[in-house]
Amino acid sequence: MKIKNTENQFGLVAISVHWIAALAVIGLFASGLYMRSLTYYDSLYQVLPYYHKSIGVILMLLILFRIVWRFINPQPKSLDTHSSLEKKGAKLAHIGLYLLMLAVMVAGYLISTAKGHGVNVFDLFEVPATLHGIAGQGDLAGMLHEYLAYGLLGLAGLHALGALKHHFIDKDRTLFRMIKGK
């Protein structure tokens, strides 16, 4: 498998980033839901948010890299069997996924930095608090983070259903292109 995309197939970088992002989004969503049930005395009360934030920052960097990679790489053409509605829907879904991922992560950053503290990323570096001190920032950003995360998960679910539809009903190569590149 080639590192870069070609006109007919996805490369190793695009495929790897796609699946890492998918797993990270699912894991972050699940950990976010679980964190809501924690009390101050739970052993994971401090630990889980630290990992959630660190993985969220790394994911944001990965998504920004993926967006740049998308512009400097050819994008495989849609299969001839895809209708124009499917092509337009896929394009809108991909744009929506990127925008929602970035919006969820920005809202998460605004929660974490609301009191003026940066985000420590695995003790490797800190993302400074550049926007903070706004009245109600943490609560408003928290509400946005939650609703955007639900929207992201919903759109990702539709995206997955579309891939499964292509695989099981249309019996085309759409899903295999994002697994094997071919």
Residues 17-31: tens digit of each pLDDT: 999 999 999 999 999
Mean pLDDT of 81-95: 96
Spatial contact of 173 and 79, defined as CB atoms under 8 Å apart: yes
Going from N- to C-terminal start, the domains of the chain cover 12-179
pLDDT above 90: residue 110: yes
Which CATH number is 12-179 given? Answer: 1.20.950
Please compute the mean of the pLDDT values over residues 39-62 and round it to a whole number: 97
Burial environment of residue 113 by CB neighbours within 10 A (0 to 12, 13 to 18, 19 or more): buried
Beta carbons within 10 angstroms of residue 119's beta carbon? 19
User: How many Cα atoms within 13 Å fall on the side-chain side of residue 156?
Assistant: 19
Q: Where are the alpha helices (DSSP H) in 5-125?
A: 12-35, 47-72, 84-112
User: Percentage of the chain with pLDDT > 90?
Assistant: 97
Q: Can you say whether the dihedral through the CA atoms of 109, 30, 54, 117 is positive or negative?
A: positive
pLDDT in tens, 127-142: 999 999 899 999 999 9
Phi then psi for residue 119, to 5 deg, are -105, 115
End-to-end CA distance of the chain: 9
State the pLDDT at residue 181: 77
User: What three-state secondary structure class fits 151?
Assistant: helix
